[in-house]
Structure 1
Amino acid sequence: MPQDSTDTAVTVVFDAVSLLEGVRVLDLGIWRPAPYAAQLLADLGADVVKIEPPGGDPMRAFPELFERLTRRKRCIELDLHDDGDRRRAVELAADVDIAVEGFRPGVADRLGVGYEALRAANPSIVYCSISGYGQEGPRANAPGHDVNYQGYAGVLAPRPGDIPTQPRVPYADLAAGLAGAMAMCAAYIRRLRSGEGEYVDVSMTDVLAHWNGERDGTIVASDDLDGVIMGVPGYGVYATADGRWVSLGITSEDRFWSSLCEALGLQQHAAMPFPERMRRHTELDAAVADGLSRLSRDEAVECLDRAGVPVAPVLTRQEMVGALGASALVHPARYRHHPVL
């Protein structure tokens, strides 16, 4: 049955779709990455059993987050250092299609629930390991959490003149969970065709590095890469008169630039071609910022929406739920032919 969770006084009903109905998953993870991957499968209809250590997953210290990460899961507490509990975990694994863990390399093996141990009990199992730096490499056994992996993947590197800041969103945790869920689904499809299981190694750092370093299939190592977008006037986040913010998304489109200039009283720049706008970025971006600073956030959005300019308010979490609805917290995709359970 759906469960209710409350965030900023908004009741969220967590439903699931039936795309993975009948798929059985064992969640061996703690904290966020592996449990998030398993939660994504649960939201698609998979039957997920979560094993928690004695005293519970450390994420229970954050009740709202824990509830989101365990929705539609069945939880069982087992001490994997105990022979009897370890046997019970392996018995559970013998009856599932997919298992996912999020320990540092070697820990699952020492606990008796690594890939080889579970494959011995279930030769066709799809087994996914999500770790900070992957199963191999010079930092494979280094401890870490989300902010460390963001730093190592180059995500926290500031633009010239700025200082690194900690993002409010745990991108490494969530990106790795998403990549893990996708990889597990792909491996499961292959198993349906071949009967063979698979071992999936997901590095949180590698997932972010993939996002940060690939453009159009080409690996780019230049620190000037951000300038491709961030050096465009009218692309970025801008302060408004009421101390709030709006985001603009104008790149090379002349029509959007012209509409922005007309709306902000910058008609003298409206016909300027894109190459010249790039060359005069600092001057023009300052003019855009000045124009927006004279409007409140909502006035700016209304004005630029009316002009057909790519604009959006920078919302707080509470505003986001009010604007998008609680369902935005549950399913980022919709399915026409599979009902909500």
Structure 2
Amino acid sequence: MGDTALPPLLSGLRVLDLTRNLPGPFATRLLADLGATIVKVEPPEGDPARPLAALFEALNHGKECRTIDFRSSADLDRLRAWVQEADVLLDSFRPGVLQGLGLDAATLHALNPRLVMVSITGYGQHGPWAQKAGHDLNFMALSGVLDQMRAPTGELALSNVQWGDLAGGSAMACIAVLAAVFEAQKTGQGRHLDVSMVHGLHAQLVMPQATGAMLAPLLGRRPGAGEDLLNGVLPCYNIYATQDGRHLAVGALEFKFWKVACEVFERPDWVQRHWQRGQLPGSPDCAALRAEVAQLVASQPLAVWSERFAQADACVTPVLTLEEAQAHPLFADGARPQPWAEIA
């Protein structure tokens, strides 16, 4: 196993970060984790996340913070001077704000032709929604993602992970930055790219779009809550309550994992009752098996199932609380502080 410390892959990349709140700062934190130098530019009142000290530190550690009064022509001149030394400028203003500040792409590329500009917006630069305000919940709702986050009984779940901000915004912004920097290094010419969070989320509806179309002929309609391939219809891929009110995540989607899971469950009669062995999703036998698995899992506390499955290669795991996850060997004591690590 290689060292978990990531080498500075982006060493020498200089980023001006004009973003605030969550999506942009997390994007530039990821770039910083990869070795980039981040200059965080804030208005006199500071980033709105500053009062939330723990959040601000998590998003902005290792960044150099500078203050600019965006209403001051002299301060904007200072910012333009910084642009000449930068590789990337990231912002999260509404469309048109950069132009109003004299920081449009034509102006900045005249100062620094290789500058990569990435703007994170809620709904894109153009169209009837371009100037509308929005937060993660709105992006989730309008993209169709929130509708897919339902309990089997149909209730919507209000996620405490901000998928619109982070997956639709931060991750997509990092991809845009790296792709445009790659081109700028070859051509000497930067670009101005827009990252729309609602469109970034919608692009990630790969599975429900595909599996919904696949199951629609069987159901006579598109699947709803608890009816799609990965949201509850399959006994082998589901969440089951344990005796003590905790939950067991059974992810034995492939037959080989389901076979091992059945061995641990001590139910060899379940082995062939799998979708890859002809059991139709949504069929009476499928529903019956789901109920049987639920009854068995509910007969023991989570600790028992965790111990039984600890050494089994079955894709069955306990559902951990945030505190339990932080103490897990995967994450405890900085075991793996970043998603990336070099392989020896």
Match for 1:241: what amino acid?
A: Q
Counterpart contact for 1:80–1:112, Cα < 8 Å: no
Residue 53 (1) aligns with residue 43 (2): yes
**Is 2:221 the partner of 1:228?**
no
Task: Indicate the SS of the match to 1:58.
Answer: coil
1:78 to 68, 74, 78: 68
1:330/1:216 CA distance change after superposition, 3 Å: farther
- Aligned with 2:102 (options 112, 118, 140): 112
> What is the identity, as a one-letter code, of the residue corresponding to 1:317?
L
Tell me which of 112, 131, 134 is aligned to 1:122. Answer: 112
Q: Distance in 2 between matches of 1:138 and 1:317?
A: 40
**What is the alpha-carbon distance in structure 1 between the residues aligned to residue 165 and residue 24 of structure 2?**
8
- Residue type of the partner of 2:193? V
Q: Distance between the aligned counterparts of 1:298 and 1:38, measured in 2?
A: 39
2:58 to 68, 81, 98: 68
- 1:276 pairs with 279, 291, 309, which one? 279
The change in CA–CA distance for 1:261 and 1:147 in structure 2 (over 3 A counts) is same
**Gap change, CA 1:52 and 1:16, over 3 Å in 2:** farther
Residues 122-156 of structure 1: per-residue CA shift (max 9 Å, x gap): 12100000111111222111100111101111111
**Secondary structure of residue in 1 paired with 2:118:** strand
Looking at structure 2, the residues matched to 128 and 178 of structure 1 have their Cα atoms a distance apart, in angstroms, of 12
User: Is the 2:211–2:228 contact (alpha carbons within 8 Å) kept by the matching residues of 1?
Assistant: no
Q: Is the 8 A contact 1:26 1:93 kept in 2?
A: yes
Amino acid at match of 1:171: W
Q: What are the ranges of 5 or more consecutive residues in structure 1 without an aligned counterpart?
A: 1-13
8 Å contact kept, 1:99–1:126: yes
Q: Which residue of structure 2 aligns with residue 150 of structure 1?
A: 140
Distance 1:193 1:134 in 2: 27
**1:172 corresponds to 2:164:** yes
CA distance in 2, matches of 1:214, 1:115: 37
TM-score by length of 1: 0.86
Higher mean C-alpha deviation, range 289-298 or range 126-135: 289-298
The structure-2 alpha-carbon separation of the partners of 1:262 and 1:182, relative to structure 1 and needing over 3 Å to count, comes to same
- Write the mapping of 1:282-297 to structure 2, written as runs, cut at 5 A: 282-297=287-302
Asked if 1:303 corresponds to 2:308, the answer is yes
Query: 2:127 maps to what in 1?
Result: 137
Mapped contact 1:89–1:113 kept (Cα < 8 A): no
Q: How far did residue 281 of structure 1 move?
A: 2.2
- Other structure's SS at 2:279 match: helix
Q: Residue in 2 aligned with 1:6?
A: none
Mapped partners of 1:155, 1:227: distance in 2:
14
Q: Any stretches of 5+ residues in structure 2 without a counterpart?
A: 217-221
User: When you count strand as a share of all residues, which structure comes out higher?
Assistant: 1
In 2, the alpha carbon distance for the partners of 1:189 and 1:328 equals: 31
1:126-275 matched pairs, under 5 angstroms: 126-157=116-147, 158=150, 161-175=153-167, 176-213=169-206, 223-224=222-223, 227-230=228-231, 231-253=233-255, 255-274=256-275, 275=278
TM-score (normalizing by structure 2)? 0.86
Mean CA deviation greater in 278-287 or 195-204: 278-287
State the Cα distance separating 1:51 from its structure 2 match.
0.4
Look up the SS of the partner of 1:251 in the other structure: coil
- The question of whether the paired residues in 2 share the 8 Å contact of 1:79 and 1:85 is answered with yes
Structure 2 counterpart of 1:59, one-letter code: A
Superimposed CA distance per residue, residues 168-211 of structure 1 (whole angstroms, 9 cap, x where no aligned partner): 10011111211111221111111111111111111111111111
Displacement of 1:16 in angstroms is: 5.9
Helix, strand or coil: the match of 2:65?
Answer: strand
Query: Is contact 1:104–1:141 with CA below 8 Å preserved after alignment?
Result: yes
How far the C-alpha of 1:233 sits from its partner, in A, is 0.7
Q: Which segment is superposed worse, 91-100 or 242-251?
A: 242-251
Q: Return the offset for 1:116.
A: 3.1
Shift of 1:80: 0.5
Q: Which residue of 1 aligns with 2:219?
A: none
Q: Verify the 8 A CA contact 2:17 2:41 in the aligned structure 1.
A: yes
The farther-off stretch of 266-275 and 23-32 is 266-275
* Aligned counterparts of 2:64 and 2:81: Cα–Cα separation in 1: 16
Shift of 1:277: 5.9
The alignment of Structure 1 onto Structure 2 pairs a total of residues equal to 323
Q: SS where residue 49 of structure 2 aligns?
A: helix
Out of 334, 338, 341, the residue aligned to residue 334 of structure 1 is 341
The question of whether the paired residues in 2 share the 8 Å contact of 1:233 and 1:277 is answered with: no
Provide the alpha-carbon RMSD of the alignment: 2.6
The whole-number CA distance in structure 2 between the counterparts of 1:168 and 1:326 is 24
Per-residue CA distance 1:64-105 (angstroms, 9 max, x = gap): 111111111100111111111111111111210001001121
Identify which range, 244-253 or 113-122, moves more after superposition: 113-122
Q: 1:134 to 1:120 in 2, by over 3 A?
A: same
